[in-house]
Structure 1
Amino acid sequence: MRRSRSQNNQLVSIRQLVSRLFSVQVSGTSAATKPTVAVQSEIDAAYQLVSATWNPDAQMFKQLAQTYLDDPTATASFDQVAPGRGRAAYYRDAMVVFADTRLT
């Protein structure tokens, strides 16, 4: 399946966003227990990308977050963008915090 220019730009944006988010993780922060402004800012950017095509409420955003952890292809994609253990779980945790604090 061929992607449009817009879809390709969105994928580049997502990869950049994930890369920035994981640079915060490397510095030793925890998305679930110590959500930082920097992490939540990156998740807000991700939410804005998602909202361009779909407007999830808090519960749907949390379900999307869980799919990133449950789907081996998605998990592998996180590791490809930013190699390391626990990347998908970290991203999921950050999305859940965002949903609980910003979407409810």
Structure 2
Amino acid sequence: MHVKEAAELAGISVRTLHYYDEIGLLIPDEVTEAGYRVYSERNLETLQEILFFRELGFSLKQIKEIMSDPAYDRQAALELHRKMLIEKRDRLDQLITTIDKTIQHMKGEIKMTVEEKFQGFDFSRNPYEQEARERWGDQAVDESKAKLGKMSEAEMKALQDEIHAIYSKLAQLRHGSPESEEAQAAIEEWYRALNRFGHYSLEAFKGLGQLYVDDERFTKNIDQFGEGLAAFMRDAMAVYADRRMES
């Protein structure tokens, strides 16, 4: 199968396949005299594995390290992919149910409790840990995990409630200026909350805000509290960080 056919089959761009070849992640079994890449059935199986890893948030660097390991077991990896995708599906189903109930609540058809409004949100696990490690190093992430690991179930629930409350507060402010006193006060609460279970410098805090917009997974997760919230938080976090770095 030529590169264009393989790209169309997988729903990705030709440039993506070229890049996978350049970094040694997926090298086609054949290249014609004219320079055209030809992908074998084995290549397509490898591409499927790569895309499963990508769907679950793994970086290309991590995928290459995992798949190049002599001990890599394709069947075991697929079984793990299945388990993780089922967990993801269940969480999305719960969020869809919460959205449906919220719409009914807004129409006056049902009455939601405060707890029901936040069913499906779970910040106790970080699906983007690899990106965090690559951007800020293992030590910061390990410190954060260690602090979270020492929390009791009640403390973890209190932290989740605090995070939900901050997100909800920021969502109400998102149509205003990120430089406003109210927005900056709420962002300071967010900065302090993050540093209770990790260590974020002002520079890292600003970078995290940018990641909220650059990574569509972050954007979708945050914007569930209100469309445009991720971009608003990015701007407010940048203002907060810049002001304190200048002072």
C-alpha distance after superposition, 1:59-103 (max 9, x if no partner): 111111111112222211222122x2x221111000000001124
Higher RCO (C-alpha under 8 Å, 6+ residues apart): 1
Distance 2:193 2:245 in 1: 15
Matched, 1:71 2:215: yes
Structure 1 residue aligned with 2:61: none
Structure 1: where are the runs of 5+ without partners? none
TM-score, length-normalised on structure 1? 0.78
* One-letter amino acid matched to 1:87: L
CA contact (8 A) 2:171 2:225 kept: no
Equivalenced residue count is: 96
Letter in 2 for 1:12: D
The alignment status of 1:38 with 2:182, answered yes or no, reads yes
- TM-score normalised by length of structure 2: 0.36
Q: Which amino acid aligns with 1:75?
A: T
Structure 2 residue matching 1:19: 3-state secondary structure: helix
Higher-Rg member (1/2) = 2
User: Kindly, what percent of the aligned residue pairs are identical?
Assistant: 29
Q: Distance in 2 between matches of 1:103 and 1:9?
A: 30
Q: Is 1:53 matched up with 2:197?
A: yes
- 2:170–2:229 Cα contact (<8 Å) kept: no
The aligned residue for residue 97 of structure 1 is 239
1:88 aligns with 2:235: no
Which ranges of structure 2 fall in alignment gaps of 5 or more residues? 1-123, 125-152
CA contact 2:205–2:237 (8 Å) conserved in 1: yes
Q: Does 1:9 align with 2:151?
A: no
2:198 aligned counterpart, secondary structure: coil
Check whether the contact 1:57–1:103 (CA below 8 A) recurs between aligned residues.
no
* Alignment pair present for 1:21 and 2:170: yes
Q: 1:37 to 1:46 in 2, by over 3 A?
A: same
- CA shift for structure 1 position 11: 2.3
In the TM superposition, residue 37 of structure 1 has moved relative to its aligned partner by 0.7
Pairwise CA RMSD of aligned residues?
Answer: 2.0
Report deviation, 1:54.
2.3
C-alpha spacing 1:54/1:71, structure 2 compared with 1 (3 Å)? same
